[in-house]
A and B are shown apart, each in its own frame.
Chain A
């Protein structure tokens, strides 16, 4: 690999890694509060991309309106899923896993029936390339990585500095103590699920112009998010961001360099991390 293409791969990896981090943050946030591995994340990612397709490509609304619509609709759906399904199955890891998988399956097939089999294309609003000496960088990747970074920062700000964010962190640390001090746990769970799903929807909407949109597009990103939340430490927000960027680099550098077999690296990394450092790179909890 020449140094030029290496630099390009690193920058592309950073931009992809940012989106991976957005997907994984939603997943790890829901897990740290409710103890649920939200398989429906994949379906919400897919739905975000379809909303982008319909609002922006089909009905020709402004890009920003379509993006906001994707966030709001997937977030609202997250609230509904939490209220009517997860709330009843939350106490048992197994039941919640099966419910989450079934909801994901139902949504994927619903999309297949409602939106059709053929992959859709969303035109890009960010065009052109930036030339710096011998390196070519796609504006689209840079812009999407930038929006991803903005989302991550907004999320971190919310969790760190708002009252609701503080209440959520309190619930994830100690459920009973948080309830005793008057935190509205039901509301917090619903909101957390809404925010988690909105992050998935936003990531899907952002990625829709880079890859084709189809009902099963979310699953590979769900798998990547699994890798990220383990490597970063289950429930750790900074860990997910760092691990997202690492996986972005692995995907970008190793797959261009070694081909398909590099897909195994992420999963092998998961096994190694869990064996030697189960709380992940930056996790605080016990495994």
Chain B
């Protein structure tokens, strides 16, 4: 294993260890809740990142989150399923809807795909608002969604964030592991090839549709999982939680973090969520300030926050090189 990767591996292991020990060492509920939110945002941003590696900008990620949230809520509340069955089911239902929708629209590119996903997001939101109000609850949504059923000795009690913290953390690790494995594999290289030059990729025999559909389904699967977690964590689903604004937020986490690597969405979701929390102290000026920060990041760092990492590494390499030269090594 090259030295660089070994260092990265240590950093990741230390981070995981810190996050596992966090609720034991820090009894602060506020920070636990904050981290749960960040984990949730990372799952969403990573899923969208995978979709965007194929060059497709999806504008309806929150709609798939809504599909997952409603699926899980309905099977738990109306059919009496266990949460632990409903959670994967939510992901699968989202992925199946993504498959059907994707097969039809994924051949569209650029602004066309962006606008058709926008329309789909609105259709889903309006459908949850207006269709079958007796089952879906209409604009108010569904209240009093039960928390997850106990898993062995672990009880999920609303208000106690530690079990939810570990659940969100585990889900995030699964999502990130999938993203990491995919980004090391041939398939994401293929995605990038489609992203960079789809005509060329197709001409050498890359099946465009198949790859785009796979990326779209996997991304939306995790959106569905995140939606199910959201429903049972906040114990409430309503169409208002999954609007275009939420899709915009997910998109901005991924883009601001940087699309070049699977690490980008992690950085983006973390930084933007923390900024959003920090600027709340400015009262009514909060959105103004966070909007200005977003504009500045895009204008001055077109590759996203992650593009700082190679730049930083380059600077370190340069300084070490300089030192070595001064010592007469090279």
Q: Which residues of A contact B150 (CB under 8 A)?
A: none
Tell me what chain A mostly uses at the interface: helix, strand, loop, or mixed: helix
Q: Which residues of B contact A278 (CB under 8 A)?
A: 108, 112
Contact A102 B298 (CB under 8 A): yes
Compute how far the CA of A263 lies from the CA of B119 in the bound complex, rounded to whole angstroms. Answer: 11
Tell me what chain B mostly uses at the interface: helix, strand, loop, or mixed: helix
Contact A103 B295 (CB under 8 A): yes
Return the chain A residue nearest B131 by Cβ. A261
1/0 per residue B102-126: CB within 8 Å of A?
0011001111101110111011001
What size tier do the contact residues of chain B reach?
35 or more
- Chain A stretch 216-267: residues in CB contact (< 8 A) with chain B: 223, 226-227, 229-230, 234, 260-261, 263-264, 267
- Chain A stretch 87-111: residues in CB contact (< 8 A) with chain B: 88-89, 92-95, 97-99, 101-103, 105-106, 109-110
Compute how far the CA of A6 lies from the CA of B49 in the bound complex, rounded to whole angstroms. Answer: 48
Q: Does A10 contact B (CB under 8 A)?
A: no
Contact B299 A287 (CB under 8 A): no
Residue of A31, A98, A261, A287 with most chain B CB atoms under a 10 A cut-off: A98
Tell me which of B110, B120, B284, B295 contacts A271 (CB under 8 A). Answer: B120
Contact B116 A270 (CB under 8 A): yes
Residue of B120, B292, B298 with most chain A CB atoms under a 10 A cut-off: B298
| A99-B112 contact in complex given A105-B287, A112-B284, C-beta closer than 8 Å | no
Compute how far the CA of A223 lies from the CA of B256 in the bound complex, rounded to whole angstroms. Answer: 24
Q: Does A146 contact B (CB under 8 A)?
A: no
Return the chain A residue nearest B302 by Cβ. A95
Contact A274 B112 (CB under 8 A): yes
Tell me which of A93, A102, A261, A267 contacts B295 (CB under 8 A). Answer: A102
Q: Does B252 contact A (CB under 8 A)?
A: yes
Contact A106 B285 (CB under 8 A): no
| A101-B252 contact in complex given A110-B288, A113-B285, A274-B105, C-beta closer than 8 Å | yes
Contact A106 B251 (CB under 8 A): no
| A226-B119 contact in complex given A95-B298, A109-B288, A274-B105, C-beta closer than 8 Å | yes
Write 6 A-B pairs (CB below 8 A) sorted by A numbering. A95-B298, A101-B252, A102-B292, A102-B295, A105-B287, A267-B126
